[in-house]
Structure 1
Protein backbone atom coordinates (compact mmCIF):
# COMPACT_ATOMS: atom_id res chain seq x y z
CA UNK A 1 0.00 0.00 0.00
CA UNK A 2 2.76 2.45 0.82
CA UNK A 3 4.68 2.05 -2.43
CA UNK A 4 2.48 4.38 -4.53
CA UNK A 5 2.55 8.17 -4.36
CA UNK A 6 -1.27 8.00 -4.40
CA UNK A 7 -1.22 6.36 -0.96
CA UNK A 8 -0.82 8.55 2.12
CA UNK A 9 0.32 6.35 5.01
CA UNK A 10 0.97 9.17 7.52
CA UNK A 11 -2.01 11.44 6.87
CA UNK A 12 -1.58 13.39 10.13
CA UNK A 13 1.48 15.01 8.54
CA UNK A 14 -0.74 16.49 5.81
CA UNK A 15 -3.19 18.31 8.10
CA UNK A 16 -3.67 21.77 6.63
CA UNK A 17 -1.41 20.86 3.69
CA UNK A 18 -3.67 18.78 1.43
CA UNK A 19 -3.74 21.43 -1.29
CA UNK A 20 0.05 21.30 -1.35
CA UNK A 21 -0.16 17.52 -1.76
CA UNK A 22 -2.51 17.90 -4.74
CA UNK A 23 -0.53 20.90 -6.01
CA UNK A 24 -3.65 22.98 -6.63
CA UNK A 25 -6.38 24.92 -4.80
CA UNK A 26 -9.32 22.89 -6.06
CA UNK A 27 -12.08 21.67 -3.74
CA UNK A 28 -11.38 18.44 -1.85
CA UNK A 29 -14.10 15.78 -1.51
CA UNK A 30 -13.70 13.03 1.07
CA UNK A 31 -15.18 9.51 0.94
CA UNK A 32 -15.39 7.76 4.31
CA UNK A 33 -15.20 4.00 3.82
CA UNK A 34 -14.19 3.97 0.16
CA UNK A 35 -13.85 0.18 -0.10
CA UNK A 36 -12.63 -0.97 -3.51
CA UNK A 37 -12.74 2.55 -4.89
CA UNK A 38 -15.27 2.33 -7.70
CA UNK A 39 -17.32 5.30 -6.49
CA UNK A 40 -14.19 7.31 -5.64
CA UNK A 41 -12.46 6.78 -8.98
CA UNK A 42 -15.58 7.21 -11.11
CA UNK A 43 -16.23 10.53 -9.40
CA UNK A 44 -12.62 11.61 -9.85
CA UNK A 45 -12.68 10.63 -13.51
CA UNK A 46 -15.87 12.64 -14.13
CA UNK A 47 -14.63 15.67 -12.17
CA UNK A 48 -10.98 16.38 -12.90
CA UNK A 49 -11.33 19.84 -11.35
CA UNK A 50 -11.97 18.32 -7.90
CA UNK A 51 -9.58 16.42 -5.63
CA UNK A 52 -10.73 13.21 -3.93
CA UNK A 53 -9.51 11.44 -0.81
CA UNK A 54 -10.72 7.94 0.01
CA UNK A 55 -10.35 6.56 3.53
CA UNK A 56 -10.78 2.98 4.67
CA UNK A 57 -9.37 0.82 7.42
CA UNK A 58 -8.94 -2.38 5.43
CA UNK A 59 -5.78 -2.72 3.36
CA UNK A 60 -7.22 -5.76 1.60
CA UNK A 61 -9.93 -3.62 -0.06
CA UNK A 62 -7.83 -0.47 -0.41
CA UNK A 63 -5.38 -2.31 -2.63
CA UNK A 64 -8.18 -2.60 -5.19
CA UNK A 65 -8.95 1.11 -4.86
CA UNK A 66 -5.28 1.93 -5.38
CA UNK A 67 -4.99 -0.33 -8.44
CA UNK A 68 -8.11 1.25 -9.92
CA UNK A 69 -6.74 4.77 -9.35
CA UNK A 70 -3.40 3.82 -10.93
CA UNK A 71 -5.03 2.06 -13.89
CA UNK A 72 -7.25 5.08 -14.53
CA UNK A 73 -4.25 7.43 -14.10
CA UNK A 74 -6.04 9.47 -11.46
CA UNK A 75 -3.86 12.43 -10.45
CA UNK A 76 -6.69 13.88 -8.35
CA UNK A 77 -7.06 10.87 -6.00
CA UNK A 78 -5.34 9.95 -2.76
CA UNK A 79 -5.92 6.75 -0.77
CA UNK A 80 -5.60 6.86 3.02
CA UNK A 81 -5.53 3.71 5.20
CA UNK A 82 -6.71 4.78 8.65
CA UNK A 83 -9.38 4.55 11.32
CA UNK A 84 -12.06 7.19 10.73
CA UNK A 85 -12.37 7.73 14.50
CA UNK A 86 -9.14 9.77 14.31
CA UNK A 87 -10.33 11.91 11.39
CA UNK A 88 -9.92 15.25 13.15
CA UNK A 89 -6.15 14.63 13.32
CA UNK A 90 -5.90 14.58 9.53
CA UNK A 91 -7.82 17.62 8.24
CA UNK A 92 -7.71 21.27 9.21
CA UNK A 93 -10.50 23.84 9.41
CA UNK A 94 -12.40 24.40 6.13
CA UNK A 95 -10.18 21.92 4.28
CA UNK A 96 -12.98 19.66 2.96
CA UNK A 97 -15.90 20.78 0.77
CA UNK A 98 -17.94 17.57 0.68
CA UNK A 99 -18.08 14.25 2.54
CA UNK A 100 -19.52 11.04 1.10
CA UNK A 101 -20.79 8.27 3.39
CA UNK A 102 -21.95 5.26 1.36
CA UNK A 103 -23.46 2.11 2.88
CA UNK A 104 -21.64 2.35 6.18
CA UNK A 105 -22.07 -0.30 8.88
CA UNK A 106 -25.53 0.32 10.43
CA UNK A 107 -24.47 -0.88 13.91
CA UNK A 108 -28.07 -1.75 14.88
CA UNK A 109 -27.46 -2.58 18.55
CA UNK A 110 -28.11 0.35 20.85
CA UNK A 111 -24.72 0.12 22.58
CA UNK A 112 -22.92 0.25 19.20
CA UNK A 113 -24.77 3.16 17.59
CA UNK A 114 -22.05 5.66 18.50
CA UNK A 115 -19.83 3.86 15.98
CA UNK A 116 -22.05 4.91 13.08
CA UNK A 117 -20.31 7.24 10.63
CA UNK A 118 -23.38 9.50 10.76
CA UNK A 119 -23.64 9.62 14.57
CA UNK A 120 -23.44 13.02 16.25
CA UNK A 121 -20.15 11.97 17.90
CA UNK A 122 -18.48 11.86 14.48
CA UNK A 123 -20.53 14.66 12.91
CA UNK A 124 -19.04 17.04 15.47
CA UNK A 125 -15.58 16.03 14.27
CA UNK A 126 -16.52 16.51 10.60
CA UNK A 127 -17.78 20.02 11.37
CA UNK A 128 -14.26 21.04 12.38
CA UNK A 129 -12.87 20.61 8.86
CA UNK A 130 -15.96 20.87 6.64
CA UNK A 131 -16.23 24.24 4.91
CA UNK A 132 -19.14 26.59 5.63
CA UNK A 133 -21.90 25.52 3.21
CA UNK A 134 -20.08 22.17 2.95
CA UNK A 135 -22.19 19.10 2.29
CA UNK A 136 -22.50 15.49 3.41
CA UNK A 137 -23.98 13.00 0.91
CA UNK A 138 -25.29 9.86 2.57
CA UNK A 139 -26.54 6.62 0.99
CA UNK A 140 -27.79 3.47 2.70
CA UNK A 141 -30.10 0.49 2.27
CA UNK A 142 -30.88 0.43 6.02
CA UNK A 143 -34.15 2.15 6.97
CA UNK A 144 -33.45 2.46 10.70
CA UNK A 145 -30.02 3.95 10.08
CA UNK A 146 -31.45 6.37 7.51
CA UNK A 147 -34.21 7.60 9.80
CA UNK A 148 -32.02 7.91 12.89
CA UNK A 149 -29.27 9.63 10.88
CA UNK A 150 -31.72 12.37 9.92
CA UNK A 151 -32.03 13.13 13.63
CA UNK A 152 -28.25 13.04 14.10
CA UNK A 153 -27.77 15.57 11.31
CA UNK A 154 -30.41 17.92 12.72
CA UNK A 155 -28.97 17.65 16.23
CA UNK A 156 -25.54 18.60 14.89
CA UNK A 157 -26.83 21.67 13.06
CA UNK A 158 -27.03 20.35 9.51
CA UNK A 159 -29.90 21.28 7.22
CA UNK A 160 -31.41 18.60 4.94
CA UNK A 161 -31.23 19.80 1.32
CA UNK A 162 -32.44 16.68 -0.46
CA UNK A 163 -33.98 13.42 0.71
CA UNK A 164 -35.40 10.34 -1.00
CA UNK A 165 -36.33 6.86 0.18
CA UNK A 166 -35.91 5.47 -3.35
CA UNK A 167 -32.94 7.06 -5.10
CA UNK A 168 -33.23 5.14 -8.34
CA UNK A 169 -36.86 6.18 -8.83
CA UNK A 170 -36.24 9.78 -7.75
CA UNK A 171 -35.54 12.88 -9.82
CA UNK A 172 -31.94 13.07 -8.59
CA UNK A 173 -29.42 13.43 -11.40
CA UNK A 174 -25.73 12.62 -11.32
CA UNK A 175 -25.73 9.61 -9.00
CA UNK A 176 -22.57 7.50 -9.08
CA UNK A 177 -23.16 3.91 -8.00
CA UNK A 178 -20.97 1.93 -5.61
CA UNK A 179 -20.25 -1.79 -5.75
CA UNK A 180 -22.76 -2.43 -2.96
CA UNK A 181 -25.34 -0.29 -4.68
CA UNK A 182 -25.16 -2.30 -7.92
CA UNK A 183 -25.67 -5.49 -5.93
CA UNK A 184 -28.61 -4.06 -3.99
CA UNK A 185 -30.28 -2.73 -7.14
CA UNK A 186 -29.99 -6.20 -8.66
CA UNK A 187 -31.82 -7.60 -5.63
CA UNK A 188 -34.62 -5.06 -6.03
CA UNK A 189 -33.72 -3.17 -2.85
CA UNK A 190 -34.44 0.53 -2.39
CA UNK A 191 -31.53 2.90 -1.89
CA UNK A 192 -32.10 5.81 0.49
CA UNK A 193 -30.18 9.03 -0.06
CA UNK A 194 -29.89 12.49 1.43
CA UNK A 195 -27.76 15.61 1.21
CA UNK A 196 -27.21 17.85 4.22
CA UNK A 197 -25.47 21.19 4.40
CA UNK A 198 -23.69 23.01 7.19
CA UNK A 199 -25.88 25.82 8.53
Structure 2
Protein backbone atom coordinates (compact mmCIF):
# COMPACT_ATOMS: atom_id res chain seq x y z
CA UNK A 1 0.00 0.00 0.00
CA UNK A 2 1.18 3.39 -0.82
CA UNK A 3 1.17 6.35 1.41
CA UNK A 4 -1.56 7.97 -0.70
CA UNK A 5 -3.82 4.95 -0.28
CA UNK A 6 -3.20 4.95 3.46
CA UNK A 7 -4.11 8.63 3.70
CA UNK A 8 -7.33 8.04 1.71
CA UNK A 9 -8.19 5.09 3.93
CA UNK A 10 -7.64 7.18 7.08
CA UNK A 11 -9.75 9.99 5.59
CA UNK A 12 -12.58 7.55 4.87
CA UNK A 13 -12.42 6.19 8.41
CA UNK A 14 -12.47 9.70 9.81
CA UNK A 15 -15.41 10.61 7.57
CA UNK A 16 -17.35 7.53 8.70
CA UNK A 17 -16.55 8.25 12.37
CA UNK A 18 -17.49 11.87 11.83
CA UNK A 19 -20.83 10.79 10.29
CA UNK A 20 -21.41 8.40 13.19
CA UNK A 21 -20.78 11.14 15.76
CA UNK A 22 -22.92 13.54 13.76
CA UNK A 23 -25.84 11.07 13.82
CA UNK A 24 -25.24 10.48 17.54
CA UNK A 25 -25.44 14.22 18.18
CA UNK A 26 -28.62 14.51 16.10
CA UNK A 27 -30.14 11.58 18.00
CA UNK A 28 -29.13 13.10 21.33
CA UNK A 29 -30.75 16.41 20.38
CA UNK A 30 -33.92 14.61 19.28
CA UNK A 31 -34.08 12.66 22.54
CA UNK A 32 -33.51 15.81 24.60
CA UNK A 33 -36.12 17.71 22.62
CA UNK A 34 -38.83 15.02 22.84
CA UNK A 35 -37.83 13.31 26.08
CA UNK A 36 -40.92 14.40 28.01
CA UNK A 37 -43.25 13.41 25.18
CA UNK A 38 -41.66 9.96 24.89
CA UNK A 39 -41.86 9.38 28.65
CA UNK A 40 -45.48 10.54 28.71
CA UNK A 41 -46.34 8.22 25.82
CA UNK A 42 -44.72 5.22 27.49
CA UNK A 43 -46.46 5.99 30.80
CA UNK A 44 -49.81 6.44 29.00
CA UNK A 45 -49.46 3.11 27.19
CA UNK A 46 -48.58 1.36 30.44
CA UNK A 47 -51.54 3.03 32.19
CA UNK A 48 -53.98 2.01 29.42
CA UNK A 49 -52.74 -1.57 29.42
CA UNK A 50 -52.93 -1.71 33.23
CA UNK A 51 -56.45 -0.24 33.28
CA UNK A 52 -57.57 -2.72 30.63
CA UNK A 53 -56.18 -5.65 32.62
CA UNK A 54 -57.86 -4.38 35.80
CA UNK A 55 -61.19 -3.87 34.00
CA UNK A 56 -61.11 -7.36 32.49
CA UNK A 57 -60.25 -8.88 35.87
CA UNK A 58 -63.15 -6.99 37.48
CA UNK A 59 -65.60 -8.10 34.78
CA UNK A 60 -64.43 -11.70 35.10
CA UNK A 61 -64.92 -11.61 38.86
CA UNK A 62 -68.46 -10.20 38.34
CA UNK A 63 -69.26 -13.02 35.92
CA UNK A 64 -67.93 -15.61 38.34
CA UNK A 65 -69.89 -14.14 41.25
CA UNK A 66 -73.08 -14.00 39.14
CA UNK A 67 -72.62 -17.65 38.17
CA UNK A 68 -72.14 -18.61 41.83
CA UNK A 69 -75.35 -16.74 42.72
CA UNK A 70 -77.19 -18.53 39.89
CA UNK A 71 -75.96 -21.91 41.13
CA UNK A 72 -77.21 -21.02 44.62
CA UNK A 73 -80.60 -20.14 43.13
CA UNK A 74 -80.74 -23.42 41.25
CA UNK A 75 -80.13 -25.26 44.51
CA UNK A 76 -82.57 -23.09 46.51
CA UNK A 77 -84.96 -20.97 44.45
CA UNK A 78 -86.10 -19.11 47.56
CA UNK A 79 -82.63 -17.76 48.40
CA UNK A 80 -83.33 -14.01 48.41
CA UNK A 81 -79.70 -13.09 49.11
CA UNK A 82 -78.54 -14.94 45.99
CA UNK A 83 -81.40 -13.37 43.99
CA UNK A 84 -80.43 -9.84 45.08
CA UNK A 85 -76.78 -10.54 44.38
CA UNK A 86 -77.64 -11.83 40.90
CA UNK A 87 -79.77 -8.75 40.25
CA UNK A 88 -76.93 -6.38 41.18
CA UNK A 89 -74.20 -8.29 39.33
CA UNK A 90 -76.01 -9.23 36.12
CA UNK A 91 -79.45 -7.72 35.47
CA UNK A 92 -79.81 -9.66 32.21
CA UNK A 93 -79.10 -12.99 33.88
CA UNK A 94 -81.51 -11.98 36.64
CA UNK A 95 -84.22 -11.40 34.01
CA UNK A 96 -83.49 -14.81 32.49
CA UNK A 97 -83.84 -16.45 35.91
CA UNK A 98 -87.12 -14.65 36.69
CA UNK A 99 -88.51 -15.47 33.24
CA UNK A 100 -87.61 -19.15 33.42
CA UNK A 101 -89.10 -19.43 36.91
CA UNK A 102 -92.27 -17.57 35.81
CA UNK A 103 -92.73 -19.85 32.81
CA UNK A 104 -92.32 -22.97 34.94
CA UNK A 105 -94.73 -21.60 37.56
CA UNK A 106 -97.08 -20.23 34.85
CA UNK A 107 -96.93 -16.87 36.64
CA UNK A 108 -98.35 -14.44 34.09
CA UNK A 109 -97.86 -11.40 36.35
CA UNK A 110 -94.12 -12.08 36.70
CA UNK A 111 -93.88 -12.46 32.92
CA UNK A 112 -95.69 -9.14 32.40
CA UNK A 113 -93.17 -7.39 34.66
CA UNK A 114 -90.38 -8.43 32.27
CA UNK A 115 -92.03 -6.82 29.25
CA UNK A 116 -89.49 -3.97 29.19
CA UNK A 117 -86.45 -6.11 29.97
CA UNK A 118 -83.15 -4.87 28.56
CA UNK A 119 -82.22 -8.44 27.68
CA UNK A 120 -83.40 -8.57 24.07
CA UNK A 121 -84.19 -12.26 24.06
CA UNK A 122 -86.22 -12.01 27.25
CA UNK A 123 -88.27 -9.05 26.01
CA UNK A 124 -88.99 -10.96 22.78
CA UNK A 125 -89.94 -14.13 24.64
CA UNK A 126 -92.21 -12.15 26.97
CA UNK A 127 -94.01 -10.60 24.01
CA UNK A 128 -94.51 -14.08 22.56
CA UNK A 129 -95.74 -15.52 25.87
CA UNK A 130 -98.22 -12.66 26.30
CA UNK A 131 -99.63 -13.05 22.77
CA UNK A 132 -102.76 -15.11 23.30
CA UNK A 133 -105.05 -14.31 20.39
CA UNK A 134 -104.70 -14.13 16.61
CA UNK A 135 -104.22 -10.36 16.53
CA UNK A 136 -101.48 -10.25 19.16
CA UNK A 137 -99.76 -13.26 17.54
CA UNK A 138 -99.87 -11.45 14.18
CA UNK A 139 -98.48 -8.31 15.77
CA UNK A 140 -95.65 -10.34 17.32
CA UNK A 141 -94.93 -12.17 14.03
CA UNK A 142 -94.84 -8.89 12.09
CA UNK A 143 -91.68 -7.83 13.94
CA UNK A 144 -88.64 -8.60 11.83
CA UNK A 145 -86.48 -9.85 14.71
CA UNK A 146 -89.15 -12.05 16.35
CA UNK A 147 -87.59 -15.30 17.52
CA UNK A 148 -90.76 -17.40 17.31
CA UNK A 149 -92.15 -15.69 14.21
CA UNK A 150 -93.07 -18.91 12.38
CA UNK A 151 -94.56 -20.49 15.49
CA UNK A 152 -96.68 -17.38 16.09
CA UNK A 153 -97.91 -17.51 12.49
CA UNK A 154 -98.78 -21.18 12.88
CA UNK A 155 -100.64 -20.59 16.15
CA UNK A 156 -102.48 -17.66 14.61
CA UNK A 157 -103.49 -19.83 11.66
CA UNK A 158 -104.79 -22.58 13.98
CA UNK A 159 -106.85 -20.02 15.92
CA UNK A 160 -108.23 -18.69 12.62
CA UNK A 161 -109.04 -22.22 11.43
CA UNK A 162 -110.90 -22.89 14.68
CA UNK A 163 -113.00 -19.75 14.08
CA UNK A 164 -113.71 -20.75 10.43
CA UNK A 165 -111.58 -17.98 8.92
CA UNK A 166 -110.06 -20.39 6.44
CA UNK A 167 -108.73 -17.92 3.86
CA UNK A 168 -106.96 -15.80 6.49
CA UNK A 169 -105.50 -18.95 8.06
CA UNK A 170 -104.13 -20.09 4.70
CA UNK A 171 -102.54 -16.67 4.17
CA UNK A 172 -100.80 -16.96 7.56
CA UNK A 173 -99.57 -20.47 6.75
CA UNK A 174 -98.13 -19.29 3.43
CA UNK A 175 -95.99 -16.71 5.30
CA UNK A 176 -94.10 -19.44 7.18
CA UNK A 177 -90.54 -19.73 5.91
CA UNK A 178 -89.67 -22.78 3.79
CA UNK A 179 -86.46 -23.18 5.85
CA UNK A 180 -88.44 -23.37 9.09
CA UNK A 181 -88.88 -26.68 10.86
CA UNK A 182 -92.58 -25.80 10.98
CA UNK A 183 -92.93 -25.61 7.20
CA UNK A 184 -93.99 -29.29 6.91
CA UNK A 185 -96.69 -28.77 9.53
CA UNK A 186 -97.86 -25.64 7.71
CA UNK A 187 -98.01 -27.58 4.42
CA UNK A 188 -100.00 -30.33 6.10
CA UNK A 189 -102.47 -27.81 7.49
CA UNK A 190 -102.76 -26.18 4.07
CA UNK A 191 -103.25 -29.53 2.37
CA UNK A 192 -105.53 -31.24 4.88
CA UNK A 193 -107.14 -28.15 6.34
CA UNK A 194 -110.65 -27.15 5.49
CA UNK A 195 -110.91 -25.31 2.18
Q: TM-score range by the shorter chain?
A: under 0.3
Compare the two structures and name the one with the higher strand fraction: 1
How high is the TM-score relative to the length of structure 1?
0.21
Q: Whose helix proportion is higher, 1 or 2?
A: 2
Structure 2-normalised TM-score? 0.21
Larger RCO: 1 or 2 (CA < 8 Å, sep 6+): 1
Larger Rg: 2
